């Protein structure tokens, strides 16, 4: 695209906006964020990449860049300027907020890209990590519920890109919370197979089948899932992608969630019933240890340490 602009939000009252041909760090506190007449606000046409920092830094963003390149191509953009902007945006956000990240125990980084009348715009901002919620999930596991809302079909919207058209997931989570206040909706496809949640992918482990996860065509395969598959492959374990049913979830020895904020955490309950076995707990803890080694930070201990300071309980 010939024209592009970038916005960096450090908090709700400050942002940075520049055009593509100016230095990214130039600050304009009066610049608009988005025009309401642009494609993004009208159609919800936003590409998004999100990840959490670890000790104030980003892990290698290879999977995010691959997905963003695919998204740019779907949007009809030249991918190289988008990827360069993404890299610069991340670097600028982290550099500008070093003290904040050190004090708050890391944060989530969000980058948005949207079409405009003449090109594209990008926005970057930080979100606090909900440490109290993560601490509970790491210790007790998340609670998932079945809902009537079905996952968007791959025939309708590309599942290989991450976007902000997330209304089905929001409605599904409202249905889940009506059943159980802290529950997360696990969406299913029109065929009744398991898909994913608004927060994360899922993976199952059983002594009989090993690690399994839904087919790429039946979920939005995330970057944390891709990293987990790589971590397991390095230790000689494969992850089989296949259609999974609620029955598979109920009988699994271990069921986990894989998302950009919490990275990996167990599923403790499904429709109010406990999941897993002792063997599954041991397997889950083994993978957790590998992830901690990969991340270079004990994010489970970090969540426990920062839980009492969390304002987003």
pLDDT in tens, 76-114: 999 999 999 999 889 988 988 888 888 889 999 999 998
Kindly state the average pLDDT of the residues 123-133.
91
Which pLDDT does position 15 carry in this prediction?
Answer: 37
Q: Where do the domains of the chain lie, and which CATH numbers do they carry?
A: 3-128 (3.30.470.10), 132-307 (3.20.10.10)
- Interatomic CA distance for residues 191 and 153, integer angstroms: 10
pLDDT value of residue 40? 79
Rounded-to-integer distance, Cα 148 and Cα 184, Å = 13
| pLDDT of 14 | 32
pLDDT of residue 26: 41
Query: Alpha-carbon distance 42 to 280, whole Å?
Result: 46
Q: Crossing angle, helix 131-140 and helix 299-306, to 10 degrees?
A: 120
Check residue 107 and give left, alpha or beta (phi > 0: left; psi -120 to 50: alpha).
beta
**Phi, psi values for residue 44, rounded to 5°:** 70, 30
Residue 179 has pLDDT above 60, yes or no: yes
Secondary structure of the chain in the HEC alphabet? CCEEEEEEEEECCEEEEEECCCCCCCCCCCCCCCCCCCHHHHHCCCEEEEEECECCECCCCHHHHHHHHHHHHHCCCCHHHHHHHHHHHHHHHHHHCHHHHHHHCCEEEEEEEEECCCEEEEEEEEEECCHHHHHHHHHHCEEEECCCCECCCCCCCCCCCCECCCHHHHHHHHHHHHHCCCCEECCECCCCCECCCCCCEEEEEECCCEEEECCHHHCCCCHHHHHHHHHHHHCCCCEEECCCCHHHHHHCCEEEEEECCCEEEEEEEECCEECCCHHHHHHHHHHHHHHHHHHCCCHHHHHHHHHHHCCCC
Q: What are phi and psi of 192, to 5 degrees?
A: 90, 5
Q: Has residue 25 got a pLDDT over 50? A: no
R_g of the chain, CA atoms, integer Å: 20
Residue 5 scores a pLDDT above 60:
no
Higher pLDDT, 22 or 211: 211
Average pLDDT value for the chain: 88
Instruction: Record the pTM.
Output: 0.88
Q: Show Cβ contacts of residue 90 under 8 Å, excluding neighbours closer than 6 positions.
A: 58, 61, 109, 111, 124
**Is residue 33 over pLDDT 80?**
no
Average pLDDT over residues 177-194: 97
User: What is the number of residues in the chain?
Assistant: 313
When pLDDT is averaged across residues 192-221 and rounded to a whole number, the result is: 96
Taking a C-beta distance cutoff of 8 angstroms, is the pair 67, 162 a contact?
yes
Reported as a single tens digit per residue, the pLDDT across 138-175 is 999 999 999 999 998 888 888 888 988 889 999 999 99
Structure tokens at 80: 């190289």
The string of pLDDT tens digits covering residues 248-283 is 999 999 999 999 999 999 999 999 999 999 999 999
Q: What is the percentage of the chain residues whose pLDDT exceeds 70? A: 88
Position 271 scores a pLDDT of: 97
């Amino acid at each position: 695209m010939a024209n592009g602009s970038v916005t960096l939000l450090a908090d709700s009252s400050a942002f940075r906006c520049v055009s593509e041909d100016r230095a990214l760090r130039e600050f304009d506190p009066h610049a608009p964020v988005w025009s309401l007449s642009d494609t993004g606000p009208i159609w919800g046409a936003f590409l998004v990449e999100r990840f959490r920092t670890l000790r104030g830094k980003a892990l290698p963003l290879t999977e995010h860049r691959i997905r963003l390149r695919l998204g740019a191509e779907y949007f009809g953009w030249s991918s190289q300027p988008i990827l360069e902007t993404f890299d610069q945006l991340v670097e600028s956000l982290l550099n500008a907020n070093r003290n904040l990240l050190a004090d708050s125990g890391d944060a989530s980084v969000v980058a948005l890209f949207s079409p405009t009348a003449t090109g594209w715009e990008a926005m970057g901002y930080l979100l606090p990590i909900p440490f109290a919620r993560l601490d509970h999930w790491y210790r007790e596991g998340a609670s998932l519920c079945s809902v009537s809302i079905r996952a968007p079909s791959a025939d309708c919207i590309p599942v290989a890109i991450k976007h902000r058209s997330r209304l089905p997931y929001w409605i599904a989570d409202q249905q889940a919370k009506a059943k159980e206040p802290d529950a997360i909706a696990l969406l299913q496809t029109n065929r009744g197979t398991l898909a994913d949640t608004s927060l994360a992918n899922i993976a199952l482990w059983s002594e009989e089948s090993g690690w399994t996860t839904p087919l790429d065509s039946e979920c939005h395969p995330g970057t944390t899932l891709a990293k987990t598959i790589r971590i397991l492959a390095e230790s000689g374990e494969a992850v089989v992608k296949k259609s999974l049913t609620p029955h598979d979830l109920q009988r699994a020895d271990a069921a986990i969630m894989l998302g950009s904020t919490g990275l990996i955490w167990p599923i403790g309950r499904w429709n109010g019933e406990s999941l897993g076995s002792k063997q599954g707990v041991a397997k889950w803890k083994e993978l957790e240890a590998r992830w901690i080694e990969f991340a270079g930070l004990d994010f489970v201990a970090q969540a426990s340490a920062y839980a009492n300071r969390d304002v987003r309980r």
